[in-house]
Amino acid sequence: MPTANDTRLRAPKRLLFGPGPVTVEPRAYEAMRQPVVGIRDPFLLQVMDEIRTGLREVFGTKNQMTFPLSASGSGAMEAAVGNFVRPGQKFAIFTNGHFSNRLLAMAERQGTKVFRREKAWGEVFTEAEAREFIAETQPEVVAFVQGETSTGAYQTGKAITAAAKEINALVIADCVTTLGAMPVEIDAVGVDVAFSCSQKGLSCPAGLSAISVSPRAWEQLQARKEDPFTWYLDLKLIAKYFEAPHVYHHTPCPPLLYALHQGLAVVQEEGLAARWERHRHAHEQLMAGLLELRFEPVVKNPNDRLWHLATVRPPAGVDEAKLRARLTEEHDIEVAAGLGEFAGKILRIGTMGPLATTENVDLFLSALRACL
Ligand SMILES: *Cc1c(COP(=O)(O)O)cnc(C)c1O
């Protein structure tokens, strides 16, 4: 703590084994100390272009309209809904956790006709369920969450996009947690609008997000007659800053952009497939250790589990709040509690970016054993 004559800040060094924010990639931290430049400085414009290229790679897309946004993941969610879900349209959403409920709440505020297909938390939707719901509701826009951070469930989205394509509906996918840690591949999956954030799979500080829009969705946006309600997240205005003539829209934060640039460079140097594999491997090691300690997985089917976020119920007699507090006090480790209906019931343990290694999983498991 600072004393009376020393007002410097000293943040504790925690290992963030949660669902995000996660431990920041060291190179991203270093990059944030670089000088701030003006918003149309050629250097910043180049950084921005390189970020856009890096984002296309992690999203698995050729979409020209791929940008970082000055907002956390929820801001990108709001941009997706605000630009592509119009008043009076039919919007169909698959809900199986806290974040799909958030998407639904945002769509309701757009004056859209919302249809929901609900599933128990921890489960994902089958092809038959996706087909039935979409055929029954005939929506203009369909949305789902690829990585449900509240439950640990992973839905590739292929079943949903296939059904949506049959009726020519636009598909919005929340890739906030999956991006940078597991297969997202929006072009192959057939997603039209995908969004994510900086502080999860990409292991950068929070404060930025990303959005990628297919040519088809972009055309629909151009044809939209009324302006979106959101000015700050109006993608047509934002695009004029990213592309020539780089018209001022709002002031971005260069240090955060530098960090994201380096976070993406680290992904590129390791190779996306190698990075996914490293996360899968860490996940298997962590899950095996947790099962041995009698934790019970929330997501029953191992194929439906996120590779970088283990969600478990603690063994009988173990108080999850006390366990989390001890991990922080005695080992400087943070893990997360459950959200919504899982509050007080589960633990969410992330192994993302620099934490997804054999040594770090070993370190975590021995700290956990010591606390039990
Ligand atoms: C974290 C998260 C969000 C919200 O992102 P913020 O950066 O917290 O605003 C949205 N969707 C999912 C699936 C998330 O995990």
Ligand 1 in reach of 61 Cβ (< 6 A): no
pLDDT digits (tens, 9 = 90+) for 129-142: 999 999 999 999 99
Give the atom of ligand 1 at the shortest distance from the alpha carbon of 74: 9
Mean pLDDT of 139-146: 98
At 1 the pLDDT is 59
Whether pLDDT at 195 is above 80:
yes
Per-residue pLDDT, 2: 58
Q: Which atom of ligand 1 is nearest to the CA of 198?
A: 7
Domain map of the chain by residue range?
Answer: 15-21+272-371, 26-267
CATH of domain 26-267: 3.40.640.10
pLDDT tens digit sequence for 266-297:
999 999 999 999 999 999 999 999 999 999 99
Report the percent of the chain where pLDDT is more than 90.
Answer: 98
**pLDDT mean across residues, the chain:** 96
| Residue of the CA atom closest to atom 8 of ligand 1 | 73
Would the pTM of this model clear 0.75, i.e. be above it?
yes
Cα–ligand 1 centroid distance for 42 (angstroms): 32
- In angstroms, what is the span from residue 203 Cα to ligand 1's centroid? 14
pLDDT value, residue 324: 97
Q: For ligand 1, is residue 174 a contact (CB within 6 Å)?
A: yes
Q: Is the pLDDT of residue 344 over 70?
A: yes
pLDDT score of 148: 97
pLDDT digits (tens, 9 = 90+) for 212-261: 999 999 999 999 999 999 999 999 999 999 998 999 999 999 999 999 99
- Predicted confidence (pLDDT) at residue 5 exceeds the cutoff of 90: no
For the CA of 145, the closest atom of ligand 1 is: 13
Q: Nearest-CA neighbor of 316 among 286, 333, 293? A: 293
- Cβ of 79 closer than 6 Å to ligand 1, yes or no, is no
> Mean pLDDT, to the nearest integer, of 55-66?
98
User: Could you tell me the pLDDT band of residue 3, with boundaries at 50, 70 and 90?
Assistant: low
Q: Is 80 in the pocket of ligand 1 (CB under 6 A)?
A: no
Question: Does the beta carbon of 100 sit less than 6 angstroms from any atom of ligand 1?
Answer: no
CA 62–ligand 1 middle distance (angstroms): 24
State the Cα–Cα distance between residues 311 and 297, nearest whole angstrom.
6
CA of 171 to the centre of ligand 1 (A): 18
4 pLDDT more than 80? no
Q: Is 157's pLDDT higher than 70? A: yes
pLDDT band per the 50, 70, 90 thresholds, residue 85: very high
| Cβ 20 under 6 angstroms from ligand 1 | yes
Question: Which CATH number applies to 15-21+272-371: 3.30.310.50, 3.90.1150.10, 3.40.50.300, 1.10.3720.10?
Answer: 3.90.1150.10
What is residue 247's predicted lDDT score, i.e. its pLDDT?
94
The residues near 223 (Cβ < 8 Å, ≥ 6 apart) are none
Q: Is the pLDDT of residue 121 over 80?
A: yes
